[in-house]
Amino acid sequence: MAHQHKYDKNGKQLCCTQQEKIYNKAGASSLLHKEHKHEDDHNHEEGEEHDHSNSNQTTLQMFTPAIISLALLLTAIAFDYYIKPTWFTGWVRIVWYAIAYIPVGFPVMKEAYESITKGEIFSEFLLMCIATIGAFSIGEYPEGVAVMLFYAIGEVFQTLAVKRAKANIKTLLDQRPDEVTILENNQPKTIKAAAANIGDIIQLKAGEKLGLDGELLTDTASFNTAALTGESKPDTKAKGETVLAGMINLNTVAQVKITTAYTDSKLSKILELVQNATAQKAPTELFIRKFAKIYTPIVVFLAIAICVVPMLFIDNYIFKEWLYRALVFLVISCPCALVISIPLGYFGGIGAASKNGILFKGSNFLDIIANIQNVVMDKTGTMTQGVFKVQEVVIDAAFNKDEILQMVNVLESQSTHPVATAIHEYVGNINTEIKLTNVEETAGQGLKATVNGKELLVGNFKLMDKFNITHNIEHSTIVYTLIAIAYDKKFVGYLTIADTIKEDAQEAVNKLKALGVTTTMLSGDKSSVVKFVADKLGIINAFGDLLPEDKVNKVKELKDKKLTVAFVGDGVNDAPVVALSNVGIAMGGLGSDATIETADVVIQDDKPSKIAMAINIGKQTKRIVWQNITLAFAVKAIVLTLGASGLATMWEAVFADVGVALLAILNAVRIQRMKF
């Protein structure tokens, strides 16, 4: 049964019941062999029940088989070397060690069998089974049990590390309530959130989280938007404003009219993005997977060769001795340090980014962003607030100012651009008596329509030039954004509109410079405005008066110089540039839906300082992954050589396998503790 959760003002869930939605891991191996997929509703429900049962598994329960095995092994070693009871010999001794082996060995044997049935014959599980059973066959019972015991302990630590890495993402994915309370005939009724329809009225009590996007019907209400932006600072909304799924109502009972279907809500899109994040594998991760598939069968055949080939060349060949060397070689060669720690490193990077309100669409983008040399950013909405206000209205005295503004307001209502919003806020309600025909938009220039049989133009001065509208305004000297107006083939006047620079824009530029990344600002806004903003922020490369195709050409110029480029924008008008850049970064989890659809990385809280943070997370993730690769290869190469020559025992083999894996895992989870 689903539950309606309640939350405190910091977004912390008050209800004790939670469901883990993604990437459950009953064992460390599932990170490698299982992908989270919803094939149908029935399987999805079964998966959630399975995940929920595993979420209740305590750390003690996970270690129980290893504890039992360790107790039996230590007792057996005490009997063998210290107490030496007369009855601890023969079949009794063998059975004792076998019982000690079963708690840790049986799960691995089961995994090996399942891998074989799926066609994955040469898995790490098969290597461990061959090595430990082989140790039993030559009478090395303590070492056989010890190898499997330490391997099992390593698996548990891997499981705990993966759970830790997933914690941030799981928290994000648990942000959406399963149920909502709607008003039906003015009576509250609790239903499944997915069953709510557009037009239904949700009654949201204080402390409850909104399940669908909608329009606020209550006069005012304050919300915690942490689920969407990572910021717990209250956001007060007024009647008629949009409120989004995931927002927590902080004070009085509020009513919200649903405007978007459950599956189309902003939060649903973010959750889908995060759920699919690990499907896009980094090149390093893909290489390691391919490497393991080739590497593992090779070492199996090498182990066979170590055991068999010497009998052809050595006179005093002893089968048991060379079999032991081969088994040591097998244990050492197990690739789990690589195939577990590397995906875990990338997963940790995605989790660390999510914790900071940065959503990567795949681990491959962590690799790419780590090598970014030039960040190209849009001005409006990226480095500035994107909230325009009309500063000045200059209309020729030959025209009726109010009439002109009313026509401009009606025409701008055809656009969703922030400038249009500013004009609407300044002029007020739209005059429905004004009828427009032949409405056209010219990308990067403005709007044209016919009003009362006469042509109305509203846009920048490029639009005026295009239609041969003469004027005597020296617009390049005016710092503010200018909106020119022409009516009936005559220049009417203009409006000046101002935007404000974001609080952390300067910090963003400084951090990028510290990382050695060059910044470039591109904008369709007039050059004087772009230069004014760039000068204040210390950006040398800044270009204004650009059409979408001009932005594309500027990015092409950078790429022609063999530079890796990240473009930061809104993901809608700048879609061609986003597609061309190496990494597209969208500002605004609360912006347009297209930001989530088109970009490779989404910064949820609109803070430009997060651009440098995203690059830094990518760099740290890549550094940790390559540290693990180097560590694993170096240690294994040394111990493999010693094992093949008979200088390494099973104990060294255990360190080379489990010990290195644990060191690599501990290194991988460091990224979750880092401060960026």
- Stretches in the chain below the pLDDT threshold 50: 1-56, 590-591
CATH of domain 179-210+212-264: 2.70.150.10
Is the CB of residue 214 less than 8 Å from the CB of residue 180? no
Give the whole-angstrom CA distance, residue 582 versus residue 555: 10
Per the CB < 8 A criterion, the answer to whether 439 and 448 are in contact is yes
∠ Cα 534 365 176 (to 5°): 95
Q: Name the strands in the sheet holding 454-459, side by side, starting at the edge strand that comes first in the sequence.
A: 389-395, 490-498, 481-487, 454-459, 446-451, 436-442
* The token pair that represents 112 in the structure block: 């090996």
DSSP class of residue 200 equals P
Cα–Cα distance list, 244 to 102, 209, 222, 299 (Å): 52, 10, 12, 55
For CA atoms 459, 463, 467, 472, the dihedral sign is positive
Q: Which are the contacts of 130, defined by CB distance < 8 A and separation ≥ 6? A: 300, 327, 330
Model pLDDT, residue 168: 53
User: What is the DSSP annotation of 77-96?
Assistant: HHIIIII--TTSSHHHHHHH
Which residues contact residue 195 at a Cβ distance below 8 angstroms, ignoring those fewer than 6 apart?
none
Q: What is the pTM of this model?
A: 0.65
378, 499, 570, 606: which is the annotated catalytic residue?
378
DSSP for 443-488, written as a single string: TTTEEEEEETTEEEEEE-HHHHHHTT------GGG--SEEEEEEET
Backbone torsions φ then ψ of 92, nearest 5 degrees:
-60, -45
378 in active site: yes
Q: Which CATH number applies to 389-498?
A: 3.40.1110.10
Residue labelled with tokens 């050409």: 553
d(CA 630, CA 628): 5
Please report the pLDDT score of residue 478 as a whole number.
78
- pLDDT, tens digit, 9 for 90 and up, residues 274-284: 555 555 555 66
- Domain locations in the chain as residue ranges: 179-210+212-264, 351-385+501-618, 389-498
DSSP 128: H
SS3 category, 386: coil
Q: Which two tokens stand for residue 25?
A: 């891991």
pLDDT score for 373: 93
Q: What residues contact 209, with CB distance under 8 A and at least 6 apart?
A: 5, 6, 7, 175, 176, 177, 227, 246, 247, 248, 249
Closest by alpha carbon to 263, among 183, 197, 329?
Answer: 197
| 351-385+501-618 is a CATH 3.40.50.1000 domain | yes
pLDDT tens digits for range 576-586: 787 788 898 88
Integer CA distances (angstroms), 61 to 68, 101, 106, 147, 661, in order: 11, 18, 16, 21, 22
Per-residue confidence (pLDDT) for residue 87, from 0 to 100: 92
Across the beta sheet with 541-543, what order do the strands follow?
A: 358-360, 601-603, 583-587, 565-569, 374-378, 518-522, 541-543
647 φ/ψ angles, rounded to the nearest 5 degrees? -95, -10
The number of angstroms, rounded, from the C-alpha of 3 to the middle of its chain's C-alpha atoms is 26
Q: What sign does the dihedral 45-47-50-54 (CA atoms) show? A: negative
Tokens of 385: 């607030």
In the prediction, which pLDDT does 596 show? Answer: 60
Helix-strand-coil split of the chain, %, nearest 5: 50, 15, 30
Q: Tally the residues of the chain.
A: 676
**Residue 547 is which amino acid?**
L
Q: Are 556 and 581 in contact (CB under 8 A)?
A: no
Is residue 381 within 8 Å of residue 588, measured between CB atoms?
yes
Q: Provide the pLDDT for residue 481.
A: 81
